[in-house]
Amino acid sequence: MNSDRLSKAVVALTDLVTRLRSPGGCPWDAKQTDSTLKMYLLEEAYEVLDAIENSSPEDVCLELGDLLFQILFLAQLAAERKEFDFTDVVEKITEKMIRRHPHVFGETHVADAEDVKRNWAKIKAKEKDAARKTTSVFERVPMNLPALLRTHRLSERASRLDPNVANGEDIWNKVFGQFEALKSAVARADRALIREATGRLLFSLSDLTRHWGLNAEDLLRLVNQEFVESFEKTEEGKDQSFDDS
């Protein structure tokens, strides 16, 4: 990596954002606020995911740039309010990552990736205790995450702090029991029970995938795409049959 090139590129992009927001810049950019940028930030993040799943390095590069632009823009808004700037953002995340990796930058020894996860959770909990800003390990799991991803993060954090919270067999028994509950609710045509049983089953299925090192959000995204491709092939076949007739 060329440090000089990187420095110039970051400064150039930061200056560009500042100019867009300055008098004589872009009228549309000048009107933007944190609230108006939220959805753009989310959309750009999902476009990065799409590019990654499509295995397109060129698209990943472009979409990461779009996402970075949103981050710089939000940092610029904060700088205008005298709250923080992009340099603060970079410095703080660098400090945090050093603190969260004592096995790399300190004297802590770890046996494997699971040890790293447990240490990460413990360090994070200590940071929150010191700040006294939160009362629960779950409070920093964003409410606006997609539901399946939030389920993954909630159960992940619980398992990191207490590895015995649920083993694979316990989780599987929950899945099986909740499937039976859903089956019973459907047989009774009880909409309220179906809603409750389905929600709990979805949570446990997500927990089961997490236990096996998978992510329900990713799995469902892949199946969604498989469904679209399969459906489109079926429709193409129908169109072809119509044309042949």
Query: Does 106 score more than 80 pLDDT?
Result: yes
Q: Tokens 């808004």 sit at which residue?
A: 77
pLDDT, residue 148, reads: 85
Which of 33, 65, 100 terminates a domain? The answer is 100
Residue 225 has pLDDT above 90, yes or no: no
pTM of the model: 0.65
**Structure confidence at residue 137 (pLDDT):** 67
For position 222, what pLDDT does the model report? 86
Q: Quote the percentage of the chain above a pLDDT of 70.
A: 91
Report yes or no on 128 lying in a domain: no
Residues 153, 212, single domain; the answer is yes
Same domain, 16 and 83: yes
When pLDDT is cut at 50, 70 and 90, the band that residue 120 belongs to is confident
Residue 183, pLDDT score: 95
Across 220-237, average pLDDT: 86
Q: What's the pLDDT score for residue 165?
A: 66
> d(Cα 199, Cα 70) in Å, to the nearest integer?
34
Indicate if the pLDDT at residue 124 is higher than 90: no
Residues 154 and 234 in one domain: yes
Q: Is the Cα dihedral 189, 193, 199, 201 positive or negative?
A: negative
pLDDT of 45 over the 80 cut? yes
CATH classification of the domain holding 183 = 1.10.287.1080
* Number of domains the chain is built from: 2
Query: Do residues 24 and 79 share a domain?
Result: yes
Domain encompassing residue 175: 147-238
Residue type, 7: S
Q: Given 67, 85, 100, which residue is the final one in a domain?
A: 100
Q: CA-CA distance, 128 to 133, in Å (whole number)?
A: 6
Higher pLDDT, 216 or 142: 216
| Residue 135 token pair | 């009362």
Report the alpha-carbon angle 218-184-207, nearest 5.
25
- Does residue 134 belong to any structural domain of this protein? no
Instruction: Report DSSP letters for 134-154, one per residue.
Output: -SSTTTTS-TTS-HHHHHHHH
* Statement to judge: residues 90 and 163 lie in one domain: no
The last residue of a domain, from among 100, 121, 138: 100
Same domain? For 161 and 72 the reply is no
**Residues 60-63: contacts with CB within 8 Å, 24+ apart?**
none
Specify if 233 maps to a domain.
yes
> pLDDT tens digits for 145-171?
788 888 888 888 888 777 666 678 888
What is the residue-averaged pLDDT of the chain? Answer: 88
Is 220 inside any structural domain?
A: yes
Confidence check: pLDDT of 66 > 70: yes
pLDDT at 136: 67
Q: List pLDDT tens digits, range 190-219.
A: 999 999 999 999 999 999 998 888 888 888
Cβ neighbours of residue 217 under 8 Å, at least 6 residues apart? 146, 148, 149, 152
Q: Which two tokens stand for residue 112?
A: 């494997």
Same domain, yes or no: 165 and 86: no
Cα distance between the two ends of the chain: 60
Task: Give tens-digit pLDDT for 168-198.
Answer: 888 899 999 999 999 999 999 999 999 999 9
Tell me whether residue 209 is in a domain: yes
